[in-house]
Amino acid sequence: MQHYQIEPIGYIQSPYKQKFAIPRQPRLIPEAKAKLIFNPTFNREEFVRGLDEFSHVWLLFRFHETADKGWSALVRPPRLGGNEKKGVFATRATFRPNAIGMSAVKLDGINYKNGQLSLELSGIDLLDGTPIIDIKPYLPYSDSLPDALGGFADDRPETELTVEFTPQAIAFCQAQSAFPELQGFISSVLKQDPRPAYKKTKEGIQQYGMTLHCFNIKWQIEGNCNIVLEITKQSAR
């Protein structure tokens, strides 16, 4: 059996600093913006010449934080509440042979500044630091299949959850001039209901925390409502 060594072409700078709260699929949260920073070997404009003619790109990446945990032939998709097993090749689960994932995301721009090449992306669903192993342009005539069947994940995931902010949380968001979409970004993330499947059936008030960009967000769920209680900025390291 042959083995292959793959050199990452770059890595993602993402607002998602932990796996918790990352959407299950790309483009579910348009406000999720990120950068792809090219590694030195590929840090030349020639590599992306003509890429600006495309609106979207495929990113092939490695699930770097779960790769060392091995893989499984059967997994429990969150879309099925974590109660039913499916073959790993019938899902997009992280625990898979070779730990390779793919995402189709929006290409907002290409930058080459101070000797560093980067791509501006949105609709991202990748953890900060994710290594990218390839980029391919999205081709609508070939990649879009309107009549395709989506199996157990045939519809866009929707929840009945609403989102409210305390006055403190609203004031904090409004004061972040460098992150003008912060409140909308948080709302979109919470409407996706990032809780583990087993938590969604629990009654009563549940409190959670997550990190987006450099902000710690605390919220609680009461019935079908997410209430953002407090947002604080992480101290500089």
- Give per-residue pLDDT as tens, 166-215: 999 999 999 999 999 999 999 999 998 888 777 777 777 889 999 999 99
Mean pLDDT (the chain) is 92
Residue 74 has pLDDT above 70, yes or no: yes
Homologous superfamily, domain 10-151: YaeB-like (2.40.30.70)
**DSSP output for 66-91:** TGGG---SEE--GGGTT-S-EEGGGS
pLDDT for res 152: 84
Say how many Å lie between the first and final Cα of the chain, rounded.
46
Provide the pLDDT for residue 2.
87
**To which residue do tokens 């909308």 refer?**
184
Tens digit of each residue's pLDDT (9 = 90 or more) over 29-69: 999 999 999 999 999 999 999 999 999 999 999 999 888 88
Return residue ranges of the chain for CATH 2.40.30.70: 10-151
Class of domain 162-233: alpha beta
**pTM for the complete prediction?**
0.89
**What is the model's pLDDT at position 236?**
63
Q: Which residues in the chain are classed under CATH 3.30.2310? A: 162-233
